[in-house]
């Protein structure tokens, strides 16, 4: 090692992130779209999302990053390296569900900015460029599928198809991107990234329950989303004999309950959620003529997930026939389980130990942008504990000390990856 390289190595090794600065950015971004209870509502491509984007872009520019916005509204800030090579990227998302917390996604983006700020302060330039990204519509709560921006960035989801997506309020991704001023010019689908690492809150109870600080994420479970529509006949609740009903609401509720039974019967690893259900006309004394609801099924085992999907659908058509109603369905998302790069998983684990933290390997239950980036480059994730395992909840919280541990690990891992040939 040359004297200069040794000096740089020592400087990087001693480097720590500025925890109060990171926390203050998390608080400031948490004020944008703040809702009662300490949470945030920044559904993708709403005015609140735009305001959050504007703030993060402003920070990116203050840190000297070269900011670009692509056709799906992904924002990437790049810090030049000593050599003009593919960057080491970190990032996540800043859109939230309607009743989201301050950490889901936001932590990963702001920790990325904190890595950049710390390197700036120490005047350290890595060999490879570093990039911090926030991807459009990771949540999928307004426009399905989730991880939309990162999948377009990676190239498997066509830009035009994504732009044409119509959301829960009947408006399209395209019109909303234009409205908020984030329909960018940067090309999508042919990007080069050396490696991608995402810091995220666990969003589940495992780390806290086991008293462990760092999760070395091995992969992400498979996700299946469908929207189902049941069409029956509205009629009087007091005059229509039970045997003569074509009750769309009843059929939807039976399918929802059955999905849960399938998960219980299949046991550990199978999850089933009906998170959205809309009945028409939704009145106390009218049999619903229409029910539209969503089904979210997940499993780390692709074959088991397929089995669960098949079981629920077989039951759904059977019960629809029994009730004399029409059942149609629309696929919203279908992602196979993803395994992260073993070298990155192992390095998260060993770095955590070197930095004095307890660590365990674990799969992710939630979807993440890293699972899309994993299709194009070595990728991995770092989890930090979620208090009470709460997420997609305004009470989502992660202790400052854990945020600091995760961000320092991200700093070490990124700077290490950025010296790779
Ligand atoms: C998206 O982030 C999901 O896991 O639902
Ligand atoms: Mn997230
Ligand atoms: Mn989320």
Q: Using one digit for the tens of pLDDT, what is the confidence trace for 159-176?
A: 999 999 999 999 999 999
The CATH number of the domain holding residue 404 is: 3.40.630.10
Q: Which of 301, 320, 335 is the last residue of a domain?
A: 335
Quick: pLDDT tens for 24-51: 999 999 999 999 999 999 999 999 999 9
**393 Cα to the center of ligand 3, angstroms:** 10
Q: How far is C-alpha 255 from the geometric centre of its chain's CA atoms? A: 27
Contact residues for 28 (Cβ-Cβ < 8 A; gap 6+): 55
Residues 362 and 328 in one domain: no
Q: What is the mean pLDDT of the chain?
A: 97
Q: Are residues 351 and 266 in the same domain?
A: no
Rounded distance between C-alpha atoms, residue 196 and residue 370, angstroms: 7
Ligand 1 close to Cβ of residue 139 (< 6 A): yes
Give 195-207 pLDDT, tens digit per residue. Answer: 999 999 999 999 9
CA of 200 to the centre of ligand 2 (A): 7
Distance (angstroms) between ligand 1 centre and the Cα of 24 equals 26
**Closest ligand to 222 CA?**
1
Are the C-beta atoms of 249 and 287 separated by less than 8 Å?
A: yes
- What percentage of the chain carries pLDDT values higher than 90? 95
Identify the pLDDT of residue 7.
Answer: 77
Looking at the CA of residue 138, tell me the nearest atom of ligand 1: 2
Give the number of the atom of ligand 1 that is nearest the alpha carbon of residue 140: 1
Q: Give residue-wise pLDDT tens across range 337-366.
A: 999 999 999 999 999 999 999 999 999 999
Q: How many CB atoms lie within 10 A of CB 281?
A: 10
Q: How far is the CA of 376 from the centre of ligand 3 (A)?
A: 22
**How close are the terminal C-alpha atoms of the chain, in Å?**
15
pLDDT digits (tens, 9 = 90+) for 249-294: 999 999 999 999 999 999 879 999 999 999 999 999 999 999 999 9
Burial 83-113 (b: 16+ CB within 10 A, else e): eebebbbbbbbbbbbbbbbbbbbbbbbbbbb
Ligand 1 neighbourhood includes 296 CB (under 6 angstroms): no
Tally of CB atoms within 10 A around 419: 16
Per the structure block, which two tokens stand in for 270? 């199978």
Cα 395 to averaged position of ligand 3 atoms, centre (Å):
13
Query: Are the CB atoms for 153 and 75 separated by under 8 Å?
Result: no
The answer to whether the CB of 366 is under 6 A from ligand 1 is: yes
Same domain, 119 and 146: yes
Domain boundary among 335, 358, 377: 335
pLDDT higher than 80, residue 5:
no
Provide DSSP, 283-328: -TTEE-SEEEEEEEEEESSHHHHHHHHHHHHHHHHHHHHHHT-EEE
Residues 208-232, mean pLDDT to the nearest whole number: 98
57 with 103, same domain? Answer: yes
Mutate to test the pocket of ligand 1, among 217, 223, 298, 337 (most ligand atoms within 8 A of CB): 223
Shared domain for 114 and 160, answered yes or no, is yes
With a CB cutoff of 8 Å and minimum separation 6, the contacts of 136 are: 44, 45, 72, 73, 74, 93, 95, 148, 149, 152, 177, 182
The pLDDT-based confidence of 13 (bands split at 50, 70, 90) is: confident
257 Cα–ligand 1 center, Å: 22
State whether 142 and 281 are in the same domain: no
198 lines ligand 1 (CB under 6 A): no
316 with 346, same domain? Answer: no
Please say if the pLDDT value at position 190 is more than 80. Answer: no
Question: Quick one: 204 and 238 in the same domain?
Answer: no
Mean of the pLDDT values across residues 378-393? 98
Cα of 201 vs centre of ligand 2, distance in Å, is: 8
The pLDDT, as a whole number, for residue 11 is 78
**Burial, 331: exposed, middle or buried (Cβ in 10 Å; 0-12, 13-18, 19+)?**
exposed
Write the pLDDT tens digit of every residue in 68-117.
999 999 999 999 999 999 999 999 999 999 999 999 999 999 999 999 99
**pLDDT band at 14; cut points 50, 70, 90:** confident
Instruction: Decide if pLDDT at 59 tops 90.
Output: yes
- Note the helical H segments in 157-284: 159-163, 173-180, 206-210, 248-266
Taking the centre of ligand 3 as the mean of its atom positions, its distance from the CA of residue 203, in whole angstroms, is 8
User: Looking at the structure, do residues 346 and 317 belong to the same domain, yes or no?
Assistant: no
**Could you tell me which of 158, 157, 116, 109 has the C-alpha nearest to residue 135?**
109
Atom number, ligand 1, closest to the C-alpha of residue 366: 4
- On whether both 331 and 345 belong to a single domain, the answer is no
Q: Given 3-state DSSP classes, what are the helix, strand and coil percentages for the chain, each rounded to the nearest 5?
A: 40, 25, 40
Report pLDDT for 46: 98
pLDDT of amino acid 8: 75
- Quote the number of domains for the chain: 2
Q: In terms of domains, do 9 and 139 share one?
A: yes
Q: Which tokens belong to 202?
A: 């666990």
What mean pLDDT is predicted for residues 3-14? 78
pLDDT at position 189 over 90 = no
Domain hosting 175: range is 3-220+337-417
- Round to whole Å and give the CA distance between 421 and 85: 9
Q: What is the pLDDT of residues 367-385, one digit of tens each?
A: 999 999 999 999 999 999 9
**CA distance linking residue 188 with residue 208, whole number of Å:** 38
Domain of 287, CATH number, reads 3.30.70.360
Question: What residues form DSSP beta bridges with 67?
Answer: 77
Question: How many whole angstroms separate alpha carbon 308 and alpha carbon 264?
Answer: 11
Which of 335, 353, 380 is at the close of a domain? Answer: 335
Burial of 252 (0-12, 13-18, 19+ CB in 10 A): buried
State if residue 146 touches ligand 1 by the CB under 6 angstroms criterion.
yes
110 lines ligand 1 (CB under 6 A): no
Ligand lying closest to the C-alpha of residue 202: 2
Q: Say if ligand 1 is within 6 A of residue 104 CB.
A: no
Q: Are residues 120 and 14 in the same domain?
A: yes
């Amino acid at each position: 090692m040359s004297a200069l390289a040794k000096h740089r190595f020592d400087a990087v090794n001693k480097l720590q992130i500025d925890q109060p600065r990171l926390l203050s950015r998390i608080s400031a971004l948490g004020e944008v779209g703040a809702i009662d209870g300490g949470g945030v509502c920044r559904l993708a491509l709403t005015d609140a999302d735009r305001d959050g984007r504007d703030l993060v872009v402003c920070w990116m520019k203050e840190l000297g990053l070269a900011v670009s916005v692509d056709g799906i509204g992904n924002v990437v800030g790049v810090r030049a390296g000593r050599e003009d090579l593919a960057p080491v990227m970190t990032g996540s998302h800043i859109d939230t569900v309607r009743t989201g917390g301050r950490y889901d996604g936001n932590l990963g983006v702001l920790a990325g900015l904190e890595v950049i700020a710390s390197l700036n302060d120490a005047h350290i330039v890595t060999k490879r460029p570093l990039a911090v990204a926030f991807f459009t519509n990771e949540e999928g709560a307004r426009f399905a599928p989730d991880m939309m921006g990162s999948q377009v960035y990676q190239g498997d989801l066509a830009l035009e198809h994504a732009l044409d997506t119509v959301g829960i309020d009947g408006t399209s991704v395209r019109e909303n991107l234009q409205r908020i001023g984030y329909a960018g010019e940067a090309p999508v689908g042919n990007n080069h990234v050396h490696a991608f690492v995402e810091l995220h809150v666990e969003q589940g109870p495992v780390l806290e329950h086991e008293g462990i600080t760092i999760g070395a994420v091995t992969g992400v479970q498979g996700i299946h989303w469908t929207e189902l529509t049941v069409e029956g006949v509205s009629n009087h609740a007091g005059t229509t004999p039970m045997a003569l009903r074509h009750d769309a609401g009843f059929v939807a509720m039976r399918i929802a309950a059955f999905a849960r039974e399938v998960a219980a019967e299949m046991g550990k690893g199978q999850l089933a959620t009906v998170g959205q259900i809309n009945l028409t006309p939704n009145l106390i004394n009218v049999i619903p003529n229409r029910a539209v609801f969503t089904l979210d099924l997940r499993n780390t085992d692709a074959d088991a997930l397929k089995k669960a999907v098949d079981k629920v659908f077989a039951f759904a058509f059977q019960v629809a026939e029994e009730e004399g109603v029409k059942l149609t369905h629309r696929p919203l998302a279908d992602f196979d389980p993803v395994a992260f790069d073993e070298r990155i998983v192992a390095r998260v684990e060993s770095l955590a130990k070197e930095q004095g933290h307890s660590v365990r390997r674990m799969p992710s239950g939630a979807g993440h942008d890293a699972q899309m980036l994993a299709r194009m480059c070595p990728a991995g994730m770092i989890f930090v504990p979620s208090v009470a395992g709460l997420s997609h909840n305004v009470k989502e919280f992660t202790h400052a000390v854990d945020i600091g541990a995760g961000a320092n690990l991200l700093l070490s891992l990124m700077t290490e990856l950025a010296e790779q040939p």
